[in-house]
Amino acid sequence: MTTAFNPNAPETIVNPYPGLAELREREPMHWNPVSRAWFITRYDDIRAAFRDKRLSADRIMPFVEAQKHGKDGDEIAYLGEHISLWAVFNDPPRHTHLRGLMNKAFTTRRVEQLRADVAGIVEDLVRDWEDGQEIDFHKAFAYPLPATVIALLLGVPQQDVEHLKRWSDALAQFVLTSKTNEDKYRVAAGALREMNDYFGDFLAARRRNPGELVTDGLISASDEGDRLTAEELTASCILLLFAGHETTTQLLANGLNSLIAHPDQMEDFRANRDDRKFVDNAVEELLRFDGPSLTSPRIAADDFELHGQTARAGQRLWLWNCAANRDPSVFENPDRLDLRRSNADRHVTFGFGVHFCIGAPLARLEAQVAFPILLKHFSGFERLNETQAWSDSYVSRGMTTMPIRLHR
């Protein structure tokens, strides 16, 4: 008997975990008639699927081919032409080419050098917050911190950050698969055209005046003479901008939301905010418990069998990262937030294998810096709404607003 699970239902968008737990237990390879896709929900299955060559990350061009003659065909074709250059939407060997060159520019050393800068940005953001003040944490902190940091990393002028945020939000309607916006293709294509124009000019300026930025590293990155083309270079910058703030925004907001719901864990975090080992593990647990990733979509390149079910070539599969992160076969009492959990870092929020998120070190660093400073300055964060407004994305889990009251 097929288990009923509607990913579009309002109650599922707010809290997908009970329904996913039922799928994980009763039907771990589930055909979902609402999404017309297969859902995989167990931890071991998802880890294996990330490395299975029968499952392709290239879900952009098959969609474009299927939709290019529809009413939004021109916009979808434009989006496909450019977003198909993103490493995340490619399989080896092209993924190896794109990711390898990006890795040379987006290094752990470059990210770690930002730690003091990130702390300064966090202090600036909270400096004027007062006791009893009501703010939208999403708008006042969770967005501007990662947007400012990724702009700093790429060398984008701070006065341009708001433009980039607007373009990125519009592009997210397509990339993160909005369920409700019928105008998403036109909006996303328009934003991508503006981003392409912007980064074309920006990269030309960096070529004339090179320095030590990530973009300079991308420009000069080579592997036995295998350089990024101009189109790949622009696409890689847009991908880093998009992924570099979207994931971290949701990590910060979801993380604080989880801490508010578990005051004992918030107090443990506050008491140990100067313990780097504790902080690092606490961030991993926040990523596991209610992180910024819902699913990782794939396309079956060949027939794919699992638990007696068969996904036919060409069908979509959704690897539910967040369900894997609550799998009781891996995580004891998985629905409990435990900042001292010994295996919290086994989560698959950032994916697994060759498609492991390139921005993971930056997201981790920002959270490791931000939460201790927030807990140093404020004794409490009071939610003003009983339930939060959650995004309707299939891919990303995060709030659209988060009104809270501050307590110094």
Does 244 fall in a domain?
Answer: yes
Domain residue limits at 202? 10-407
The continuous run of DSSP H or E covering 205 comes out as helix 184-208
Whether the predicted pLDDT of 69 surpasses 70: no
The number of angstroms, rounded, from the C-alpha of 178 to the middle of its chain's C-alpha atoms is: 14
Does 348 fall in a domain?
Answer: yes
Does 5 fall in a domain?
Answer: no
Q: 3-state DSSP helix/strand/coil percent for the chain, to nearest 5?
A: 55, 10, 35
How many domains does the chain fold into? Answer: 1
Is the whole model's pTM more than 0.85, yes or no?
yes
Does 381 fall in a domain?
Answer: yes
pLDDT tens for 131-176 read: 999 999 999 999 899 988 888 888 888 888 888 878 877 877 776 6
CATH of the domain at 23: 1.10.630.10
Confidence (pLDDT) at 240: 78
Average pLDDT rounded to a whole number, residues 8-26: 94
* Rounded distance between C-alpha atoms, residue 228 and residue 105, angstroms: 12
The number of angstroms, rounded, from the C-alpha of 128 to the middle of its chain's C-alpha atoms is: 29
Does 2 fall in a domain?
Answer: no
Does 1 fall in a domain?
Answer: no
Whether the predicted pLDDT of 179 surpasses 70: no
pLDDT tens for 201-244 read: 888 888 888 877 778 877 776 655 667 777 888 888 877 777 77
Q: How sure is the predictor about 178, in pLDDT bands with cuts at 50, 70 and 90?
A: low
Average pLDDT rounded to a whole number, residues 277-304: 95
* Rounded distance between C-alpha atoms, residue 302 and residue 267, angstroms: 50
Sign, CA torsion 321/323/327/331 = positive
Q: Could you tell me the two tokens for 223?
A: 């592997």
Does 3 fall in a domain?
Answer: no
What beta strand segments (E) does 228-374 contain? 296-300, 304-306, 309-311, 316-319
Does 183 fall in a domain?
Answer: yes
Confidence (pLDDT) at 308: 93
Average pLDDT rounded to a whole number, residues 116-121: 95
